[in-house]
Chain A
Amino acid sequence: MIRDRGWFSRLFDSFNYVFLALFALLCLAPMAHIFAVSLSGRAPATAGFVSFWPIDFTLENYQEVMGSRTFLRSFFISVARVLTGTSLNMVLIILTAYPLSKTPRVFKGRTIFIWFFVFAMLFDGGLIPTFLVVRGLGLLNTLGALILPNAVPIFSVILMMNFFRSVPRELEESAVIDGASHWRVLWHIYIPLSLPAIATLTLFAAVNHWNAWFDGLIYMTDAANYPMQTFLRTIVVELDLTNVGIDPRDLQRLSDRAIRGAQIIVATVPILVVYPFLQRYFISGIKLGAVKE
């Protein structure tokens, strides 16, 4: 490694760091702004006086958000969805990826299944037919409608499958020699060795569930059952009042920037909190050195 570098290289590096730091701050700026808005009084917030420091500091917006049944309901629907949806996703991903990671010699129909899944990944049924199926199964307005249609994320299955395939064959063989069944091999060898992949895919699944809004819009025919992001979208997207009936009472909702700010913050914090906990699993290379060849 070359340690002794010229002044230009060092200048370049410091410039790089400064630039990247500024860039990172720039990404945080909108969040910081919304946070300041959420802590501000309504009038200065809507007039656009607030930049990064709250004006007329108040916690009222958060009180109001926490007191709004509609908001809390959608929040808990989202939490329930993330918990059940992510668990179901992970169970199915692992159970699907394990057999598919075997060679066709071990698992006879592997190729057919792979094609089946890839086909389903590339082509879907389309909006209306999918809606009709979900309705026909009686899932409208239930958590099932949000969880079941995408219970097996094929892309994640392929990632998981490839990760399983990179696990050294010898580990499995040694277990099989000792009489381990497939369940045991999966549970005691593959899963512990694949924690980084599982953590990553869990995060993907959780973020997807948290951020999804369109399925909520379609499958929740009653707007009272909207998950968080669907609900947020309906209030954050600005009303175009040119063509619809204007209820002067509704107009005030347009000026609730401070409250919308508080809602966005409340909706963002949970998923931000999940990241650090999963972070430590991202350190790959756990299986390095497990086998001496």
Chain B
Amino acid sequence: MKKRFPFDTSDLKPSRRDFMRLGGTSLAAAMMMRYGTLPLLAQGMGDIPAELHPGSPNNPRGWTTTLPPIPDGMPVDPPVTITGSRRGPWEFADGDDIENSNFTRLNAAVTGIIWKLAFSWTDNEEEVLQKYNLAIAGDDLPDFMETVPLQIYAELLENDLLEDITDVYDAVAHPVWLKDAWNFGNGVAWQYAEVNGRKMGLPHTEQAAQNDKLLWIRQDWLDAVGMSLPTTVDELYAVAKAFVEADLGHGPEGSTIGIAAANNLVTWYSSLDPIFGAWGVMPGYWTPDESGDLQYNSVLPEIKEVLGVLRQWYAEGIFAQDYFTLRPPQTAFGQIGANTCGITMSPAFAALFGLPDSVTNDPSARWTWGDIPAGPTGIKKKAWSNHVVDSVFCFRKGFEHVDLVLKQIGWWAELLQNPENRYHGFEGTDYYWRNDDGEVDSMGANLDLASGYDGNKHIWGPPGTNGSALTEPRFETNWIKHRREVWANIPEAERDAYMDAFLGSDELSVMWDDANVFAVDRWELDGIRNHFTTFPTRTMELALASLNSLEAETFVNIITGQVSLDDFDSFVADWKSGGGDAITGEVNEWWHGQM
């Protein structure tokens, strides 16, 4: 009988679950230790022509990139041509394209793999579905498929179009940069890529704590009202209130907004998740109760308390009157960037997104950041950002060279992610020499972002995917720490140009580094995890959309004072009878089934 995938969730058991049991800290420490050991130079490394090497060893202030040992049996002879699908856009130096770039030339020399583009798409969400659907309908799947969206992935699994890579993976995957990196947190990375204990693809992971919120606040406004960085929700409220009353914002009188908020209460920028977290709950998340069952947080009594608080704040003008219409980037541009608002609960990357606009528009703006505020009972929690993205790297059924691709991915993952290797890309693609004094301009720092000029995106396979799919979730943090702990201790006269460029960063970049390290340190301590991590259940397929809109409408109406706070109770009843009880049953069936 044909399986009804993905509706029959009993078939889907992400292999292991509890992320909390094993912290990633010890694992990361182990990796840090590895950084101390220099990679061995493999035999045959001399075969790679010097012009293919990354780095700039011949510049007076240049550096040498150490290439990791060439994997066993590589480069394959004769070369193997592999087709792949990619997410663009890219920008290239003269004459290069995605099939012929610094990456492909070095890669061909190291591995013997020649990549051919089957199809590509850009960021558009519809576009990727369209392209994959056409490939499936035309019976023309590429050998290697980049970031396959879950609904396509389910379709491919259902029709048995994907190669089971479990055995090959066990045999040839890089022990540190693939196996350890993706084993992080007891294998949570494999929640989608592994089906019934078999690996049907490679996980798409992003950086740890990337969306974990911190409190970003205008220091100059704090000074103006004579207050200090708030540490509790009550203090946060007092500061926001003071900002609004002092009307410190840019624009017409009375237009200052206390705290930036967006259409979703729990989102990736200007989120209110730390406020809910201060009461120990997270709307939309499933967490275990005392009995070990998963419970849907949005219907818990604590939510009602938080909504009561937010309702009061809204009435006092802490939020924008139309906050529920704003998408997160609009808060970044229209409130933070436009300097009408001095408080946002946003990730570490706020220092690169939103804050720079604020400083450009008002050079006197000084920002600072702090930990999220604690609630009345001292709880301090936020939405835990799952670093596993809901898309998978897949291989076509019957594809013979999975081993080669895995070896290639491991080699590049090590080259990119081990700071000791000094990989900063290729001259002319990722950086260029600004002048004869040996000052380097990193395009990463000074990127032509409109066109997506970034050499890492030319790399085929997870470490290079557009959308930051490095394999090591603490890569960014390790890289910051390495800069601060190793580079900073090198006497200034001995530093090369790239060290100079990165050690002499501006205030906001330093703030980003600090915030990033802090957020990652608190990642597992302060995060409330959504424990429901699989395909939607049967009733969810039917009822989730209407339940979600019921929830969203009720919450907005309560916060904006359209309905009374007690309407929350009727929402809970409606939610349960409208499919919520059935969903809870199904979720727990899955939850207990996979322990």
Interchain CB contact under 8 A, A224 and B98: yes
Interface residues of A in 217-258 (CB under 8 A from B): 217-218, 221-224, 233-235, 237-257
Interchain CB contact under 8 A, B333 and A48: yes
In-complex Cβ contact of A218 among B130, B211, B337, B361 (8 A): B130
Closest to A132 in B: B138
A221 touching B131 in the complex, CB below 8 Å, given contacts A245-B389, A247-B467, A251-B353 = yes
B 369-393 to A, binary, CB cutoff 8 A, 1 in contact else 0: 0000000000000000000011100
Residues of B within 8 A of A135 (CB): 138, 140
Q: Is A99 an interface residue when CB atoms closer than 8 A count as contact? A: no
A131 touching B122 in the complex, CB below 8 Å, given contacts A238-B327, A253-B452 = no
Which stretch from B112-120, B527-535, B547-555, B563-571 is at the chain A interface? Answer: B112-120
Q: Is B246 an interface residue when CB atoms closer than 8 A count as contact? A: no
Instruction: Give the distance to chain A from B513, nearest Cβ to Cβ, in Å.
Output: 12
**A contact patch SS:** helix
A 31-58 to B, binary, CB cutoff 8 A, 1 in contact else 0: 0000000000111101111000000000
Q: How many residues of B contact A (CB 8 A)?
A: 62
Instruction: Give the distance to chain A from B155, nearest Cβ to Cβ, in Å.
Output: 14
Interchain CB contact under 8 A, A128 and B88: no
Instruction: Give the distance to chain B from A88, nearest Cβ to Cβ, in Å.
Output: 25
- The CA-CA distance from A65 to B121 in the complex, in Å, is 20
Q: Is B50 an interface residue when CB atoms closer than 8 A count as contact? A: no
Instruction: Give the distance to chain B from A50, nearest Cβ to Cβ, in Å.
Output: 11
- The CA-CA distance from A255 to B89 in the complex, in Å, is 17
Q: Is B454 an interface residue when CB atoms closer than 8 A count as contact? A: yes
Q: Is B352 an interface residue when CB atoms closer than 8 A count as contact? A: yes
Which stretch from B51-59, B304-312, B443-451 is at the chain A interface? Answer: B443-451
Q: Is A259 an interface residue when CB atoms closer than 8 A count as contact? A: yes
Interchain CB contact under 8 A, A224 and B134: no
Residues of A within 8 A of B357 (CB): 42-43, 46-47, 255
- The CA-CA distance from A77 to B337 in the complex, in Å, is 36
Residues of A within 8 A of B268 (CB): 241-242, 246
A238 touching B361 in the complex, CB below 8 Å, given contacts A132-B138, A252-B352, A253-B450 = no
Q: How many residues of A contact B (CB 8 A)?
A: 49
Closest to B329 in A: A254
Q: Is A69 an interface residue when CB atoms closer than 8 A count as contact? A: yes
Q: Is A200 an interface residue when CB atoms closer than 8 A count as contact? A: no
In-complex Cβ contact of A246 among B98, B334, B468 (8 A): B468
Q: Is A64 an interface residue when CB atoms closer than 8 A count as contact? A: yes
Residues of B within 8 A of A42 (CB): 357, 360
In-complex Cβ contact of B451 among A70, A234, A237 (8 A): A70
Q: Is B127 an interface residue when CB atoms closer than 8 A count as contact? A: yes
A64 touching B450 in the complex, CB below 8 Å, given contacts A43-B337, A234-B127, A246-B210 = yes
Interchain CB contact under 8 A, B451 and A223: no
A217 touching B119 in the complex, CB below 8 Å, given contacts A245-B206, A249-B444, A259-B450 = no
Residues of B within 8 A of A69 (CB): 91-92, 451
Closest to B118 in A: A221
- The CA-CA distance from A280 to B159 in the complex, in Å, is 59
Interface residues of B in 75-101 (CB under 8 A from A): 88-92, 97-98
Residues of A within 8 A of B37 (CB): none
A44 touching B361 in the complex, CB below 8 Å, given contacts A223-B121, A245-B204, A255-B353 = yes
Interchain CB contact under 8 A, B88 and A223: yes
Interchain CB contact under 8 A, B360 and A43: yes
A 189-223 to B, binary, CB cutoff 8 A, 1 in contact else 0: 00000000000000000000000000001100111
Instruction: Give the distance to chain A from B273, nearest Cβ to Cβ, in Å.
Output: 13
- The CA-CA distance from A70 to B451 in the complex, in Å, is 7
Residues of B within 8 A of A49 (CB): 338, 361
Q: Is A166 an interface residue when CB atoms closer than 8 A count as contact? A: no
- The CA-CA distance from A244 to B352 in the complex, in Å, is 19
Which residues of B does A touch, CB under 8 Å? 88-92, 97-98, 117-125, 127, 130-131, 134, 137-138, 140, 147, 204, 206, 210-211, 264, 267-268, 327-329, 332-334, 337-339, 349, 352-353, 356-357, 360-361, 389-391, 444, 447-452, 454, 466-469
Known contacts A70-B451, A244-B389; can you find 7 more A-B pairs with CB under 8 A? A46-B337, A47-B338, A47-B339, A47-B357, A49-B361, A246-B468, A259-B450
Query: 5 tightest CB-CB pairs across the interface, nearest first?
Result: A221-B119, A43-B360, A47-B338, A247-B468, A234-B122
A-B contact pairs, 20 of them (CB 8 A): A41-B360, A42-B357, A43-B356, A65-B450, A218-B134, A221-B117, A222-B117, A223-B122, A224-B88, A224-B89, A234-B124, A241-B329, A247-B206, A247-B467, A249-B454, A249-B468, A250-B123, A255-B337, A256-B450, A259-B450
